Amino acid sequence: MTAEAEAKQLDSVTDVVKEAEIDTAKAQEAIGLITAKKEIDHKAAALAAVTVSKEDVALIVSELEVTEEVADRVLREVSLEAKEGNVVEAALRTLIA
């Protein structure tokens, strides 16, 4: 192959440059979804780390006639948010409101 043919072939390979324009709205939306998922995962891990008493769950179930899952979830959420005080009372108030 001659130098001229090689140069032509090289030009044909390097000339094909496709520049894609990034849609900033879609990029921001994707970043927002990733961030939201990380926050959800972090909150789920924090909730899983909280321990609740079976007696507290049973009390809420008997008083408000909610499922054990609902009572457990609310107790965990209130425990994360409450600095001090009665967690069961706060959970009951949350469920009544």
CA distance 35 to 43: 12
The domain total for the chain is 1
pLDDT in tens, 45-77: 888 888 888 998 999 899 888 999 999 999 988
In a domain, 53, yes or no: yes
Region of 65 (left: φ > 0; alpha: ψ -120 to 50; beta: rest) is left
Stated pTM of the model: 0.59
Does 58 map to a domain? yes
Tell me whether residue 14 is in a domain: no
List the single range of 8-12, 21-25, 54-58 with lowest mean pLDDT. 8-12
* Confidence at residue 54, expressed as pLDDT on a 0 to 100 scale: 92
Residue numbers of the domain that contains 35:
24-96
Within 10 angstroms of residue 35's Cβ, the number of other Cβ atoms is: 10
Task: Decide if pLDDT at 17 tops 80.
Answer: no
In a domain, 55, yes or no: yes
Res 16 pLDDT > 70: no
Identify whether 88 is part of a domain: yes
